[in-house]
Amino acid sequence: MKALVYHGPRDMRYEEVETPKPQKDEVLVKVRSVSICGSDLSGYKGGSAMRVPPLIMGHEFSGEIAQLGEGVSGFKVGERVGVVTNLYCGKCQDCKDGLQNVCDYRRIIGTTMKAGSYNGAMADYVVAPAEKIMPLPDSVSFDECALVEPLSISLRATKHAGNLQGKNVAVFGSGPIGLMGVMCMKSFGAKRIVAIDIVEKRLKMALQCGATDAVNSKDDVYGITRKLTDGVGLDVVFDAAGFPETINTGIEIARNGGTLLLVGMASPKMEIEYKHAVVKELRLQSSYMYTSEMREGLQMIIDGKLNVAQMITSRHPMSEGPRIFEELASGKTSDIKVILTNE
Ligand SMILES: [Zn+2]
Ligand SMILES: [Zn+2]
């Protein structure tokens, strides 16, 4: 089969590799859509321990079942499917406690973890355990299904905020995770949703995705959000960026007793307005990956609760992957979500 193989920093090749064979309790999936994640890009640039070459990336995808391994029943060849990509161990204390998202023994399709590398979906075919397969109704496109994984990240973070009915919220960063955060918060009944970003085009997309207000971070974010909330401040601030500037502005614009959802990780280390956060009795809540949220997110799409496809700004054949990765890495495009396809 053909695959996009990551050979090292800025070295991605579309080449012939051996087609994987499904083992016992596994299925072979013919990939139809795979979405490029920001984490794939930082891997491509050589900045991630979670992408060790040689590796086929791709953890946001959908396709059709091509072959069933031994012992697999309940699925048909040709069936349209999505795949839950977190292959947690299920036996450790974290898994038993419902924290499969941080299982130390997990593997993730398309990445390198402590437990090893697992080739992903930037290829003609990918192998997955049958228990991770999510059947896809005809009403959901392959592209939409490829966005269920990033949706699950935003969904989990949003759930951490608790009841959002009638609440005033803000979202830092209008990339895919922030935009899906906007959609989830809207779907959970938030009243005012303020999107904050520095790129006007992205803010426009945030409004399209359901934000009620868009604020450029170059402007007076504190003043504007105070005005929008009758002087009180925001109940919840979803940080999909993770820069010192966004975290500290988040601490500032949150209301007393408000919640800061920490999702973005642009800066691994930073100085924060710690005392300010404590004296406002803010709840600092981090959120990482997903546990049950991929299946829940797909159900929300099936139920028509959100439209994730609108953030797809371009689609290309898989064979063009090397050029697309290089363009994205060089920052020359203003794409939000890019899909690679096998058609
Ligand atoms: Zn991702
Ligand atoms: Zn585990």
What pLDDT is recorded for position 343? 80
Among the CATH numbers 1.20.1290.10, 2.60.40.10, 3.40.50.300, 3.90.180.10, which is that of 2-146+307-341? Answer: 3.90.180.10
47 Cβ contact list (under 8 Å, min separation 6): none
Ligand nearest to the CA of 97: 2
Q: What separation in Å is there between the alpha carbon of 275 and the centre of ligand 2?
A: 36
Q: How far is the CA of 191 from the centre of ligand 1 (A)?
A: 28
Collapse the DSSP code of 228 into the 3-class scheme (helix H, G, I; strand E, B; otherwise coil) and give the result.
helix
The pLDDT score that the predictor gives to residue 151 is 98
In the prediction, which pLDDT does 159 show? 98
In tens digits, the chain (343 residues) has pLDDT values of: 999 999 999 999 999 999 999 999 999 999 999 999 999 999 999 989 999 999 999 999 999 999 999 999 999 999 999 999 999 999 999 999 999 999 999 999 999 999 999 999 999 999 999 999 999 999 999 999 999 999 999 999 999 999 999 999 999 999 999 999 999 999 999 999 999 999 999 999 999 999 999 999 999 999 999 999 999 999 999 999 999 999 999 999 999 999 999 999 999 999 999 999 999 999 999 999 999 999 999 999 999 999 999 999 999 999 999 999 999 999 888 899 999 999 8
Is residue 336 a contact partner of residue 179, using CB atoms and an 8 Å limit? Answer: yes
Q: Output the CA 191–ligand 2 centroid distance in Å.
A: 38
Give the strand pairing for 283-286 and 254-262.
parallel
Cα of 101 from ligand 1 centre, angstroms: 13
Q: Which ligand is nearest to the CA of 98?
A: 2
H/E run at residue 16: strand 11-16
pLDDT of residue 333: 85
Q: How far is the CA of 119 from the centre of ligand 1 (A)?
A: 14
For the chain, domain boundaries: 2-146+307-341, 153-286
Report CA(254)–ligand 2 centroid distance (Å): 35
Residue 118's Cβ-count burial label (10 Å; 0-12, 13-18, 19+) is buried
Cα of 294 from ligand 2 centre, angstroms:
18
Predicted local confidence at residue 332, as pLDDT:
83
Please tell me the predicted confidence (pLDDT) of residue 179.
98
- The residue to which tokens 């049950």 are assigned: 292
Name the nearest CA neighbour of 190 among 177, 200, 181: 181
What is the distance between the alpha carbons of residues 163 and 178, in angstroms, rounded to a whole number? 19
- Distance from residue 92's CA to the centre of ligand 2 (Å): 4
| Cα 105 to ligand 2 centre (Å) | 5
Q: How far apart are CA 19 and CA 190, in angstroms?
A: 47
Cα-to-centroid distance, 145 and ligand 2 (Å): 26
Give the separation between CA 17 and CA 19, rounded to whole angstroms.
6
Q: Contact 56/6 with Cβ under 8 angstroms?
A: yes
List residues, by chain if needed, whose CB lies under 5 Å from ion ligand 1.
37
What does the alpha-carbon distance between residue 116 and residue 105 come to, in Å, rounded to a whole number? 9
- The superfamily CATH assigns to domain 153-286 is NAD(P)-binding Rossmann-like Domain (3.40.50.720)
Tell me which residue of 219, 229, 228, 279 sits closest to 249, measured CA to CA: 219
Q: Residue 87: in which H helix or E strand, if any?
A: strand 86-87
